[in-house]
Each structure stands twice: as C-alpha cells, then as structure tokens.
Amino acid sequence: MIPSILIVEDDLTFSTMLKTWLGKKGFEVETASTQAKARKLLGTRSFDLILSDLRLPDKDGMSLLSWLREQQNEVPFIIMTSYAEIQSAVRAMKEGATDYISKPIQPDELLKKIKEAIQPGPTEAATEKKKNASQTTHSFLEGESEEARKLYNYVSLVAPTQMSVLINGASGTGKEYVAHRIHQLSKRADKPFIAIDCGSIPKDLAASEFFGHVKGSFTGALSDKVGAFEEANGGTLFLDEIGNLSYEVQVQLLRALQERRIRRIGSTKEIEVDVRLISATNENLKEAIAKGNFREDLYHRINEFTLQMPALKDRPEDILLFANFFLDQANRELDRSLIGFDAEASEALQKYSWPGNLRQLKNVVKRATLLAQGEFITAKDLGEEIHERKLTEDDRVKPEESFMLHDEETEKHRILKALQQTGNNKSKAAALLGIDRKTLYNKLKLYQIPQ
Ligand SMILES: Nc1ncnc2c1ncn2[C@@H]1O[C@H](COP(=O)(O)OP(=O)(O)OP(=O)(O)O)[C@@H](O)[C@H]1O
C-alpha cells in the first residue's frame, strides 16, 4: 500500500516542491495551505502521516495537533519549524507530535524521519543504528545574520565550479563545515570528501599522507598505503591548517596540483588524479609568504577564491540560533529534553565574546545541557567563563590573530585608523593593532601606505 502524507504549509512554492519530491520517493501526497483546509480534508479521509508547518495563517500547527489528539486520532505528526521556534517544537513533542524537523529542511533527514514515524516500534538494533547515524551526519545551520548571508551566497556561487577555495578564519568558526558544504553542493557530492589536518601530521609523514607509499619504501612503510589524493579521486580534498606544511611538501603539493598526477613514495608509476582542493587556515598566509614560510606560487594555486569566516561575535544575531541548534543536538545525544535557555542565560550568551567561536558555543551548550536541573538552561548552567564582559568598540587593541583575520581592505583601513589615532607613531600604532613593529612595517609596504 502506498503511504499517504498530508502537508500543511502556507508557503505554496515550498509545499509544491515537497509534494513533488515526496511523490518521487513513492508517497501519495496532498497539501493544505491552512489549518481549516487541513481539518476539512481530514474529515473526508485519513493519512498515514501529517507534516505540518508550525506557523499557519489561521491557527498554528500545534492547535491542529491538539485537535487531532482530542479526537483520539494518533496519526504520526511531524512539525516543521525554524530554529528560532525550536522551543515551540519541543513543546509540540510534549503534546504528542511524533517528531520535528527544522527548516531549511534537509531532504535526507526528512525522509528518515518520515520513515521512522510511519513504521513505529524500531528494534533495538535499529535504534542503535539511528544513534550512530545521527552522530555522523553533518547537520548544518547557516544562520540569519548579514555576515552569514554573504558567506553562504559566496559558498553557493563557488561550490558548483572547479575553483580551489581558501577558507580563512579563526579556530572554531566552522571552516571544515563550510568545506564540507561546498563539497555537498558541488557536482562531486557523491564522490569522497577527504579531510587532512596538516597541523597534526608529523613532517616526515606528510608526503606519504598525501601521495601514499609502497611497502618498504622507507622504514616504517610496512605495507602499501593509498594517499589522500588517490582516496579523494573524483571528489574533494580538504587541507586544514595548510600554513603548517613544510616547504618541501609545499613543492610536492604544487607539483601534484599542476600536473594532476601523483606518484606513491617508492613507486615509479604515475597515477592520474582529479581532485578539487579546498584549504583552510587561521594564519595570514600573505605574511607567511613575506617571511618566506609559504610559497607564493602555491598560495595562488590554492586560492582561486577566498572565503572569510566571520567570528561569532561579529554575527551576534546568530548566537541564539546556533545555541538552540546545539541544544537540539545535545538533547539528542544526551537523551535529554530541555526546552531552551532562560532570559538570563540568553542574555549571557549574547553578551559573551566567544573567542573559541562555534566550537566553544557547542561545548558550552553541551555541558550546560548535561548540568541543567530544570527544563531551561540557566545562566549558572552555562558556567563561569561566559560571564565576562563583551568586547566593545573601545577595546581597540585586539590580539594579533583577530587582527590578521580581516580581509585586506579592512586590514588596511584599521592600519590607517591606528596611525591616525597615534599621530603616525609606528610603535604605538603597532601596539594598538596588537602586532609588532616589524609586522607593521611589512604591512605598510604590502599596502603601499606612505611611511
Ligand atoms: N554551520 C554549522 N552548523 C552546525 N554546526 C557547526 C557549523 N559550523 C561549525 N559547527 C560546529 O562547530 C564545530 C567547529 O567547526 P569546524 O571544525 O568546522 O571549525 P574550524 O574553523 O574548522 O576549526 P579549526 O580551525 O579549529 O579546525 C564543529 O564540530 C561543528 O560541530
């Protein structure tokens, strides 16, 4: 029997898209744009599942749910919601919704949830599998700030191309996530995505990690090894912390990228590879080039397009969205059902400067989820560290790394501003910018600022 689904959604473009997609997946689908229409339809026939938006033009999805449950109708009910409304979704679960899914909808996740809702009572093995799957899937949130909008606009433009992308940003801003996103949105999505952390591989083993080796080619090469280039063939190779590669490996990497061929260490056989490269760094590679630590030719090869990751404090509108998103994840992982953050906790989250960015926020939320005694996370649950004062415009002296992470225009502007503020005193300007004098002089040269 073909399972039937009723979509209750007032965004007609979206519901038509969902209807078509679910139709292709083998479901029989009806749509209703208001709660009243849904009720009318439900009066004439039954469905195997209802997929309802939380917000509807007449009454919300919650009241449709209560109406059904009042009539002893236990049809599986999945609520669709945005992250801003996640607390209502959790409440809906308490009132008998089977599950909820956040917008933007990830098709695979939706399909999984529909299947689970329609076939209740999974075996233990299936539950275990589901747990593992949810741990490995990359659930993703873009954010709604202007910074996020700009970033993902660039991501969607560059993803379908073959361009190599350099992602610049401080630790924990989500560089690897964005790299993965680019891969997912590219034509290579069904091919491998191989990530290598160049910061953590020992210098001597880097070449073997990239290109592989044959048994016996050096002490310790106990068996043949396939390198990352071969593994990523047809797909995407992500090199994190690329600034950490030794000069020697940089040369080898450049050659492999130019020739699109590699040789395993100890082998004479050349292997053709088709790999798209995405790299990430939290260093200023231009400075590394100036110091002779990074090859300029490699820089241009890996940097056909640059993406600048915003620091979390520069996208304050996204803090609570991510906090709720991470709470949702932590609830699932820790098997808890906290509803959200109380007013004081929400304020503390927004005031904090988040030097460790999204990774730190995720950790703080997870810890708080574990510790919380009530239904809401309180400011106390968030821990001591986040109760510091938020940086203000007056905190002009920033640590070096935050200075380095801005794009060239911003960097140049800040240098000029610092010089102006200090009456062109280089030492004071350098201190104000959080860099040493020598670096400042290099930058003056780089940006051709008259001294
Ligand atoms: N857009 C996102 N949606 C959901 N979670 C995210 C997103 N971006 C980052 N995260 C979370 O934040 C954590 C840190 O992200 P990621 O590892 O991509 O940062 P990074 O900038 O590569 O850090 P590092 O420079 O330290 O390697 C991830 O484990 C992930 O859980």
Ligand 1 atom 29: residue of nearest CA: 359
Mind listing the pLDDT tens digit for each residue in 17-33?
A: 899 889 888 899 999 99
Q: How far apart are CA 292 and CA 249, in angstroms?
A: 14
- The rounded Å distance from CA 450 to ligand 1 centre is 40
> Helix, strand, coil % (nearest 5) of the chain?
50, 15, 35
Atom of ligand 1 nearest to the CA of 142: 1
Among candidate residues 73, 123, 125, the one with its CA nearest the CA of residue 98: 73
Q: Is 414 in the pocket of ligand 1 (CB under 6 A)?
A: no
For 9, other C-beta atoms within 10 Å of its C-beta total 23
What was the pLDDT predicted at 17?
87
Q: Is 406 in the pocket of ligand 1 (CB under 6 A)?
A: no
Q: How far apart are CA 42 and CA 52, in angstroms?
A: 13
Q: What is the CA radius of gyration of the chain?
A: 26
What was the pLDDT predicted at 130?
31
Q: Is 172 in the pocket of ligand 1 (CB under 6 A)?
A: yes
Ligand 1 atom 12: residue of nearest CA: 359
Max avg pLDDT among 13-27, 107-121, 207-221, 294-308: 294-308
Q: Is 31 in the pocket of ligand 1 (CB under 6 A)?
A: no
What was the pLDDT predicted at 326?
94
Q: Is 240 in the pocket of ligand 1 (CB under 6 A)?
A: yes
Q: Which domains does the chain have, with CATH numbers?
A: 4-136 (3.40.50.2300), 146-308 (3.40.50.300), 312-387 (1.10.8.60), 400-446 (1.10.10)
Work out the angle between the directed axes of helices 408-421 and 426-433 (0-180°, nearest 10).
130
- The rounded Å distance from CA 329 to ligand 1 centre is 14
Q: Is 212 in the pocket of ligand 1 (CB under 6 A)?
A: no
Ligand 1 atom 16: residue of nearest CA: 174
Tokens matching residue 134? 């949810």
pLDDT at 119 over 80: no
Ligand 1 atom 15: residue of nearest CA: 174
Q: Is 174 in the pocket of ligand 1 (CB under 6 A)?
A: yes
What was the pLDDT predicted at 137?
42
- The rounded Å distance from CA 221 to ligand 1 centre is 33
What was the pLDDT predicted at 416?
86
What was the pLDDT predicted at 407?
61
The percent of residues above 70 in pLDDT, for the chain, comes to: 89
The percent of residues above 90 in pLDDT, for the chain, comes to: 48
Q: How far is CA 235 from CA 187, 190, 250, 273, 324, in A?
A: 9, 8, 21, 10, 33
Mean pLDDT of 215-239: 86
- The rounded Å distance from CA 172 to ligand 1 centre is 5
Residue 369 and residue 334 in contact, taking contact as beta carbons nearer than 8 Å? yes
The mean of the pLDDT values for the chain is 84
ipTM of the complex: 0.97
Residue 342 and residue 378 in contact, taking contact as beta carbons nearer than 8 Å? yes
Ligand 1 atom 24: residue of nearest CA: 171
